Structure 1
């Protein structure tokens, strides 16, 4: 588990719009104009790579379940843009940026590692994607997002040539990616517990990484990732639902509850296929649910956490009786269909 103290002291280190992509440890007594320490910047790297590793593992192990795929390279990117003006030169020196986009971290055992790519390699080109030609704006993640999306549009399993600078010397490597479910993964800084998916991206609050064991953190990621695999955002929009505070009112409720339960059920398959214990989801809800899953509106748009545990438990029993991998749940066949709002047939009530 990561022991992070997420406070307002972090904010001077990073531009506000970049907080979705990076995390740093605060340093006691550091004023806004001071440069971030090496320790802080290494915490950025560690935390981002922790989420990237979980995302890569889930996305590649479950590629057969996904109708939208991308090349799974196993690299976590960052840009100079995402650091604010006061931290940018310190970041350039610490990470050795020789180009606007560089490898922040490499997932252990990934195709990128096997091809010899390393953290702090400054990237020039990935296949047909000319990274040097991608425009950016200081204080934003615009360049980072554009690079991620362009790389994701490459063929999911075709070898890709990567050109880089390492210590000022040009090099190249051929990476043979693993097909992966298409999705970006971003870490959100703050003291709350946000977790969301918008169809193309999964965002997870750093507090989950701080306070929950690795397998339970993976369960949170798997749940949100399931929303993307099931195209829930598109299907909810097609139903004309209202988001935000009104999600728990009126005709919205049945659709949100249906998608939450579908994501709960699919998430345990994703965990099992990726070699995580499916019961980590149960352990997470038993810890998170009693103190943090309440609130009137949330309790209406989301099933009660104890019922979710009972529902997940019942599905895990089915998984335990099936040694086949990867497991492909029948519910995937419904993802091209409109949401029916029938959440009652999915739920198992707590005893």
Structure 2
């Protein structure tokens, strides 16, 4: 069985064991479960990026979608995947998720809509790799444009104008992996299906905000500029210390991003408490990350700072963005 399908089945099994974390009906296909998780991440990502646009040094147009592609699935699985999204038999990329309250929703785009072109880009011309086609769409949408609207051309010939809003520069994807984890590469926030299924919406917002904070603070570029070891040596010495510094910075900023977007920052404390305890006592703590108990203390300190700022009536100014400490 292909790895993608095998991982989805593992995710479905895990979610059935924790039904409070997912709203997909019992007995739903693994692709329907993935589609539900993508909608949650799309909505959370859209809220976080657009609410915090005034604070972000780099912004991009946001319409509130996550893209899918039939080539993500093997031939035997493709029909079931298309059915879960309501996608046609077209080989074109399609819309996998639409954020609630987003420009995509207002324009009448819908999940499963096959896409011929976005702002003149025909993703089918990007080669045969599904991830290359999706990345091309994300890059095209994220590029600044003097035009107030983005034209989406559906595979059936319809042309739809979507009016983006400004948001922090990041795209979002859900990866079909059952291991609960997230990642950020400076342009993209990746959330595993296992992580999305583990958390309720406010807790998931904490995880997404943490990864978004990495992108806002340019951690990948700053770590590369500092010459960190990304191999086995990252667990030790200076490299481990610098990676741990960026994790603490992302934790600190995450609750401010949540507050601005209308999420309860205290959910970040709940998330890390549950996430840290999920596997029992940890025999080996990676040097690149703080202990979950330390993360909780850091978050509680930042939440107290948020409450103090609110009580003082001072302007809401998240820390670190304007002047992140050097990595040295």
Scaled by the length of structure 1, what TM-score is found?
0.79
Moved more, 196-205 or 234-243: 196-205
Cα pair distance change 1:145/1:89, threshold 3 Å:
same
Q: Deviations over 1:67-98 (max 9, x none)?
A: 22221111221111111121224445652143
User: CA distance change for structure 1 residues 173 and 183 in 2, over 3 Å: closer, same or farther?
Assistant: same
> How has the CA–CA distance of structure 1 residues 86 and 99 changed in structure 2, closer, same or farther, with 3 Å as cutoff?
closer
What residue number does 1:218 align with? 205
Q: d(CA) in 1 for partners of 2:68 and 2:94?
A: 6
| Equivalent of 1:328 in 313, 317, 323 | 317
Which of 305, 308, 318 is the aligned partner of 2:305?
318
Aligned to 1:339: 327
2:97 paired with 1:105: yes
Residue deviations 1:196-251 (CA, integer Å, cap 9, x gap): 21212222222222222211111011111111110011111111111254323111
- Is 1:51 equivalent to 2:41 in the alignment? yes
CA deviations 1:287-308 (Å, max 9, x no partner) are 222355845351x322222222
Verify the 8 A CA contact 1:52 1:107 in the aligned structure 2. Answer: yes
Q: Aligned Cα RMSD in Å?
A: 2.9
Number of aligned residues:
310
1 CA distance for matches of 2:228 and 2:188?
20
Q: 2:118 aligns with which of 115, 126, 132?
A: 126
Higher mean displacement: 259-268 or 314-323: 314-323
| Partner residue of 1:177 out of 164, 174, 186 | 164
Change (3 A) 1:192 1:103: closer
Q: 1:25 to 1:309 in 2, by over 3 A?
A: closer
| 1:281-320 aligned within 5 A | 281-292=268-279, 294-298=282-286, 300-320=287-307
Matched-pair contact (CA < 8 Å) for 1:71–1:156: no
Aligned twin of 1:264: 251
Relative distance call for 1:142 and 1:23 in structure 2 (3 A) is: farther
Give the deviation of 1:327 after TM superposition: 3.1
Q: Matched residues in 2 for 1:187 and 1:111: separation? A: 20
* Match of residue 202 from structure 1: 189
- Give the 3-state SS of the residue equivalent to 1:185 in structure 2: strand
TM-score by length of structure 2 reads: 0.84
Moved more, 267-276 or 60-69: 60-69
- Residue 24 of structure 1 and its aligned partner are, at CA, apart by 7.0
| Cα contact 2:31–2:80 (8 A) shared by 1 | no
Uncovered stretches (5+) of structure 1, i.e. residues with no partner:
1-8, 27-36, 341-351
Measure, in 2, the Cα distance between the counterparts of 1:176 and 1:240: 40
**Match for residue 153 of structure 1?**
143
